[in-house]
Amino acid sequence: MLNINVTEFESHLNQIVSRVEAGENIIITRLGEPIIRLSAVKNANQPPGSDQLLMTTEKLDDAVEASKRILKEAAQGKLPRYI
């Protein structure tokens, strides 16, 4: 991952955009502190369907929470209303 300062970013915008499009992540800093992270919205190097990964993990998190509720109800002697 490349770290560059704001002035360098402004001076080399076209080259930096090309590098990001190619899949590189870039951190832009001001006074040595990171302020912006650049990454491609769609990377040509990503495997097909990888842009769905975030949505899948969100659905998995929901399923885990639902499972915890079911197990808690079962431990309390209640029949889960989901079954």
| Residues 30-75 pLDDT 10s | 888 888 888 888 755 656 555 555 556 667 777 777 778 777 777 7
79 and 41 in a common domain: no
What does 16-51 look like in DSSP terms, one character per residue?
Answer: HHHHHHTT--EEEEETTEEEEEE--SS-TTSPTTGG
79 and 53 in a common domain: yes
Give the CATH number, domain containing residue 31: 3.40.1620.10
42 and 9 in a common domain: yes
Which position has the token pair 């650049």? 38
pTM above 0.95, yes or no: no
- Residue range(s) defining the domain that contains residue 79: 49-83
